[in-house]
Amino acid sequence: MDLPPVGLGTMGVDDPSVVAAALDVGYTHIDTAQIYDNEAVVGDGLAGGDLEDCVVATKLWTDSLAADAVRAGTERSLDRLGLDAVDLLYVHRPRGDYDPATTLPALERVRATGLTDGIGLSNFTLDQVRTADEYVDDIAAHQVEFHPFFRDEALLGHAQREDYPLVAYSPLAGGLVFEDPTIQAIAQRHETTPAAVAIAWATSYDNVVTIPKASSRAHLEANLEATRLELAAGDIDAIEAIDREEELFPE
């Protein structure tokens, strides 16, 4: 699936005006999930907006992954979003009622009926991605935690080889990038912010796009602008040499 470098992650967003403002400043990828408990909020923000070129994504939680629950779960999400179809529909986590041999064919049937354009994976291991690939015609995207303190090189390599987007969530590492001296120093050299450095670093990788959360119009605009920041090779090397691992959302 063709995704823009920066979209809007909405975990924790409880104000429709944030989503409306994102569309207004030029976002064309809005991401939510059943477990965020805000699909209706996101739907209110989308209402009246120009969605012609916008990818709207949501994720089925573990209790909607049994073969006989996939369609009903999808329809509940669409009702909350106020949409007839969603562009991208993820398996949020491969656990609970998830069974690749039954869940994924059920998702393919949902796609065949026009309720979604693409089937995505989220928080899968490499082995789980490879298994899913046996049951899905095309992996539209794989959404994973990806930031300067945590990245899975094997998952990145698979996305690049198979040419699908790796959607990086929590690119600011829950705010930890603001405290890191290496990222602070790079930001100072470029006269920008640690947030911009983290976003530019993530999107410097082939096949990686990112979905930072933002609540204010100023931060929404700044996150979009971050893609124009060109980090030097030395900057990227310095970030990758940071001796720190912080996985915020382990399985």
> 146, exposed or middle or buried, with CB in 10 Å at 0-12, 13-18, 19+?
buried
Dist. CA 136–CA 140, nearest whole Å: 9
Is 27 among the catalytic positions? no
Q: How far apart are CA 247 and CA 123, in angstroms?
A: 12
> What is the rounded CA–CA span in Å between residue 176 and residue 171?
10
Spot the catalytic one: 27, 36, 164, 169.
Answer: 36
Active site residues: 36
